[in-house]
A = this chain, B = another copy of it.
């Protein structure tokens, strides 16, 4: 049972949106869960359905929920984990079904952060960070080479976990109580170096997308820097304009 601030400069529907968003972030409404029906929410907040629908529409626009007619509103899986797959549409080699995605770990270590890395993670230079390097393999094809940097003090014994089975973000949240709530991502064209070419099974100096993602927890605090090299021959960005 929640009450709205009648005197807030924020309209009801935005206040409700914020409350529901908070519940999603808190996992009070967890992923793939049906949230309370529009009528239930009307009861809880003492507003009409139009107001609730306005709030839910905002959440839809942000991609936090989606609706299923006859069923209800459902919490979307976080976009962060699969952003690349949404930004790029696969080439013809792939269909949406029968995909297998496998991770192969190339390295897990503790290193001193370089100036560039510590700046992006907002830590002191040379702070200890985990360096985790993986190849993401889709249907037996190595497509993405990912390097993650996470300050050791965030998740001290992280490397002892079985990371093959659980996503890094899930691990950070379940074992270390660190929730990723936002991410910034940059994409540039690049050419593959020796190392990247080898693990992505492409020729040296092939065109690739280079992406850098900084994942943040509450208060804009950086948690992870992830650099990815994505095969340019298999990924394409597509968009329609009017």
Chief secondary structure at chain A's binding surface: strand
CA distance A238 to B200 in the complex (A): 24
| Integer count of this chain's copies in the complex | 2
| Total interface residues in chain A, CB < 8 Å | 34
Of A83, A207, A232, most buried by chain B (CB within 10 Å of CB) is A207
Given the interface pairs A181-B242, A207-B207, A239-B87, the reply to whether A189 lies near B186 with Cβ below 8 Å is no
Residues of B within 8 A of A184 (CB): 238-241
Residues of B within 8 A of A182 (CB): 240-242
Q: Is A12 an interface residue (CB 8 A)?
A: no
User: Once the chains bind, are B78 and A242 in contact (CB under 8 Å)?
Assistant: yes
**What are 16 of the A-B contact pairs (CB < 8 Å)?**
A62-B242, A64-B242, A78-B241, A79-B242, A80-B241, A83-B239, A182-B240, A182-B241, A183-B240, A184-B239, A185-B239, A188-B235, A189-B189, A189-B190, A190-B232, A205-B205
Q: Given known contacts A80-B242, A182-B242, A186-B238, what 8 new A-B pairs fall within 8 Å (CB)?
A: A61-B61, A62-B242, A78-B241, A188-B237, A189-B190, A189-B207, A190-B232, A237-B237
